Every structure is written in structure tokens, then in C-alpha cells.
């Protein structure tokens, strides 16, 4: 059984924000809603690292656990989706999510929140697949067409991978073999460098 | 005296062993929204294997070691 996941190769991401633009264009999300964003550590310094972040479709999703209206569900492919008709826009999921994935449209005055919007892994929502209503509420349903999320499919450096976890981890494994390294994809040293690395040095100097 | 201490030890052991039995389940509540169709229903005629094969093949487009031999 497929288990859909995202994997971002921080050695390849060039912070072009193409994934962000592709997502916004594909799903025609309203002003102020960005389902995906690129986070850069040590921005502007030599050795900076970028990573594209959206909903990670957690296997044990905290948003699901805290939702007071139980509007979240997980598909057979492991994609975490929600029913906007059930959502009350309370924002609990935003506080629970470690990735800041849930987005809320500012629909009125005084910071009034609309219904939550987040990355759907291009799998739409609980409306008829490919219908106008699904498109309006959740964006395009590419997964039902046998396609994968557009953010990953159009990534120019193929830093962002999306698909069945087994398949994309195999792609990454092959890549790491060719590269001759790969264990450093994630972790403190990759993000902040060793003691002598430029990012760590700059942080130290900033503290002085 | 001996039987009383044995009883106390047995009670303490039982309390330790059974302490987790009173815990409430902490899993998320059941989904209360509309039911969603399967990803392979609309365009793949409900053929899950066909849909999985299509997405798996599509994922290989991301593998530039395959695209450029």
C-alpha cells in the first residue's frame, strides 16, 4: 500500500520558491494563504541550507488529535485531509502543528479567521473528485488523476520529492550513493554546521 | 504478621501491575465529516493496482539518475 510523503533534499534546494508559486497557482489559493513555504537557515551566509515545508501528512498527526470538531481524516494513502464544512476555524490545529502548516484566511475585520486551509498533497477533499466544488474548497485533485503534487513534479533541481515513501526514499538513496554522502541530509550539523563552519561562526560572532 | 505483610506486598504489586488499566484512550476522535471517495475511483475505475502503478511510474520522473542515464 502506498504511503504518500514529501522529502526535501536540502543539498539541492536553491530557495527559488518555485514550489510555493506552483502550489499557489495550481490551487488558486486566496491572498494571504500559502500552503507551502521555503525556510532557509543561515540565510545569506556561505553554506546556507533551504528546505521546502508544507503539511508533512504525519502518521500520528497532532492536528487530528486536537481538532474539537474531528474534521480531519487520513486517506488509505496516508494523506491527512479535512472537511471544511466541519471546520470552525478555531486555530487549535495551527498551535498543534510543528510545521505551521494550517493556514487561515482573514475573512473579515478584527482578524476574524476563516476555515483552515492546508496542503492536501494535491488530493482534494471530501467532495466529488474533480468537481468544481472540490476545486473551489480544496484545489485540484491531481492524485485522483494518477499525478503527484505539482510542487515536487515541477521542482527544477528535484530537491523536493513526493510520492510513495518507499519509492522516494529509494530515489534519494540512489542519489546519496552517487553523491558519496547523504547521512547529513537532516540534523543539527547539516543545518548549523560544525564548530568551524561559516554559519556556526556567524552565530557565535553575533552573540559577541 | 507475616500474612499481613504478604497482603500488603501483593496489594502494592497489583496496584503497580494494574495501574495502566484505568487509563483513558488518548487517540483522536472519529472523523465526523463527509466520506471521501478513494483516489482510484474517479479516473481508474476503482482499480487500485493500476492507480498505484501509475503513481509509482510518475514518481520515477523525479529520479534524474533514471531520466539521464
What's the ipTM?
0.83
Q: Supply the pLDDT for residue A32.
A: 85
Q: Which domain holds residue B49?
A: 40-69
State the Cα–Cα distance between residues A95 and B45, nearest whole angstrom: 39
Q: How far is CA A81 from CA A85, A122, A147, B4, B24, in A?
A: 12, 10, 17, 58, 26
Q: What percent of chain B has pLDDT over 70?
A: 88
Judge whether residue B21 has pLDDT over 60. Answer: yes
Q: How many residues does chain A have?
A: 208
* Residue among A64, A65, A73, A137 with most chain B CBs within 10 A, to mutate: A73
Instruction: Indicate yes or no: CB of A73 within 8 angstroms of CB of B62.
Output: no
For the domain covering A4-207, report its CATH number. 3.30.70.20
Q: Does some domain include residue B52? A: yes
User: Please, are residues B61 and B67 in contact by the beta-carbon 8 Å criterion?
Assistant: yes
Q: Does some domain include residue B26? A: no
State the Cα–Cα distance between residues A203 and A198, nearest whole angstrom: 9
Q: Does some domain include residue B12? A: no
Average pLDDT over chain A reads 88
SS3 state of residue B58: helix
Instruction: Indicate yes or no: CB of A153 within 8 angstroms of CB of B61.
Output: yes
State the Cα–Cα distance between residues B50 and B44, nearest whole angstrom: 7
Query: What cell was used for A87?
Result: 471546520
Give mean pLDDT, residues A34-62: 93
Q: Supply the pLDDT for residue B29.
A: 73
SS3 state of residue A176: helix
Query: What cell was used for B66?
Result: 533514471
User: Please, are residues A172 and A7 in contact by the beta-carbon 8 Å criterion?
Assistant: yes
pLDDT in tens, A133-155: 999 999 999 999 999 999 999 99
Residue for grid cell 495551527: A94
User: Please, are residues A139 and A121 in contact by the beta-carbon 8 Å criterion?
Assistant: no
Q: Does some domain include residue B61? A: yes
Q: Does some domain include residue B15? A: no
Q: Total domain count for chain B?
A: 1
Amino acid at each position: 500500500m502506498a504511503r504518500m510523503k514529501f522529502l526535501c533534499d536540502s543539498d539541492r534546494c536553491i530557495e527559488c520558491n518555485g514550489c510555493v508559486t506552483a502550489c499557489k497557482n495550481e490551487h488558486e489559493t486566496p491572498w494571504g494563504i500559502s500552503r507551502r513555504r521555503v525556510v532557509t537557515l543561515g540565510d545569506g551566509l556561505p553554506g546556507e541550507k533551504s528546505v521546502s515545508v508544507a503539511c508533512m501528512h504525519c502518521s500520528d498527526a497532532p492536528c487530528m488529535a486536537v481538532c474539537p470538531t474531528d474534521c480531519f481524516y487520513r486517506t488509505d494513502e496516508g494523506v491527512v485531509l479535512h472537511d471544511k464544512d466541519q471546520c470552525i476555524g478555531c486555530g487549535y490545529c495551527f498551535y498543534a502543528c510543528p510545521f505551521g502548516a494550517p493556514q487561515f484566511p482573514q475573512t473579515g475585520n478584527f482578524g476574524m479567521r476563516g476555515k483552515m486551509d492546508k496542503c492536501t498533497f494535491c488530493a482534494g477533499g471530501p467532495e466529488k473528485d474533480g468537481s468544481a466544488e472540490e476545486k473551489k474548497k480544496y484545489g485540484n485533485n491531481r492524485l485522483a488523476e494518477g499525478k503527484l503534487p505539482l510542487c515536487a513534479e515541477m521542482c527544477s533541481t528535484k530537491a523536493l520529492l513526493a510520492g510513495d515513501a518507499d519509492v522516494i526514499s529509494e530515489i534519494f538513496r540512489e542519489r546519496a550513493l552517487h553523491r558519496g554522502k547523504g547521512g547529513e541530509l537532516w540534523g543539527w550539523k547539516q543545518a548549523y554546521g560544525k564548530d568551524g563552519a561559516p554559519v556556526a561562526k556567524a552565530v557565535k560572532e553575533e552573540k559577541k | 504478621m507475616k500474612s499481613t505483610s504478604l497482603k500488603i506486598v501483593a496489594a502494592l504489586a497489583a496496584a503497580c501491575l494494574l495501574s495502566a488499566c484505568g487509563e483513558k484512550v488518548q487517540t483522536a476522535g472519529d472523523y465526523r465529516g463527509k466520506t471521501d471517495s478513494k483516489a482510484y475511483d474517479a479516473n481508474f475505475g476503482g482499480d487500485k493496482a493500476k492507480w498505484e502503478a501509475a503513481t509509482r511510474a510518475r514518481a520515477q520522473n523525479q529520479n534524474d539518475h533514471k531520466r539521464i542515464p
